[in-house]
Chain A
């Protein structure tokens, strides 16, 4: 089975802090995605990556950056956390030929105070 893990299940940070959310997958998938999930808004794509050192903006990249130095790891960075970034963050991965068959991690619930 595909396993996607995220570094923290719950995280509380202060406004202005730099926040790192880590995602690791164990299936040698080329594609990795970061979403945020908010009540009533569904999943919104922040960034995605089709290969190591490659990144593409999704629908809501403002206030975020990403890093993919290794194939199995995709990091989401909040350069200066703000309260409106309080959300559930979900990571997903897929193989190259089936980018739409996304396997999700358990999510990180981030609270920014």
Chain B
């Protein structure tokens, strides 16, 4: 997962720009990854997933890229909107549980 710290990393982007949120994972044998979005006061919501046999997967306005060489995931959000403001975190599939990153706060300003 991401590095542990007391404060969430924050990414501030202007409405309409593209956002890129990064995540480093720990286990080179992990075969499945998920991105979650958590809005203020709500539980995490599934955004998109990717298996380790893929490098890229696209959804609606979102793209996940997987670089297994450096154990790195990124989530790209196209044309970022105010409703995209949230905490985003990745998760990797462990043996019988998900291992979550600490998250990045995305702030969208007009």
Binding site for B on A (CB under 8 A): 4, 9, 39-45, 48, 56, 58-59, 90, 92, 99-107
Contact A40 B97 (CB under 8 A): no
* Interface SS of A by simple majority: loop
Interface size class of B (residues with CB under 8 A): 20 to 34
CA distance A109 to B89 in the complex (A): 19
**For residue A92, which residues in chain B have a CB less than 8 angstroms away from its CB?**
43
**For residue A102, which residues in chain B have a CB less than 8 angstroms away from its CB?**
46, 98
Contact B7 A39 (CB under 8 A): yes
A-B CB contact pairs (8 Å), 12 listed: A9-B41, A39-B8, A40-B5, A40-B8, A42-B103, A44-B100, A48-B97, A101-B34, A101-B46, A105-B43, A106-B43, A107-B42
Binding site for A on B (CB under 8 A): 1-2, 4-8, 32, 34, 41-46, 49, 89, 91, 93, 96-98, 100-103
Instruction: Give B30 Cβ to nearest chain A Cβ, in Å.
Output: 11
Instruction: Give B91 Cβ to nearest chain A Cβ, in Å.
Output: 8
Contact A100 B41 (CB under 8 A): no
Interface centre among A43, A45, A56, A99 (most CB of B within 10 A): A43
Instruction: Give A50 Cβ to nearest chain B Cβ, in Å.
Output: 9
Contact A106 B42 (CB under 8 A): yes
Besides A39-B6, A102-B46, A106-B43, 17 more A-B contacts (Cβ < 8 Å) are A39-B8, A40-B6, A40-B8, A40-B102, A42-B1, A42-B89, A42-B102, A43-B44, A56-B96, A59-B97, A90-B43, A99-B96, A101-B46, A104-B43, A104-B44, A105-B43, A106-B41
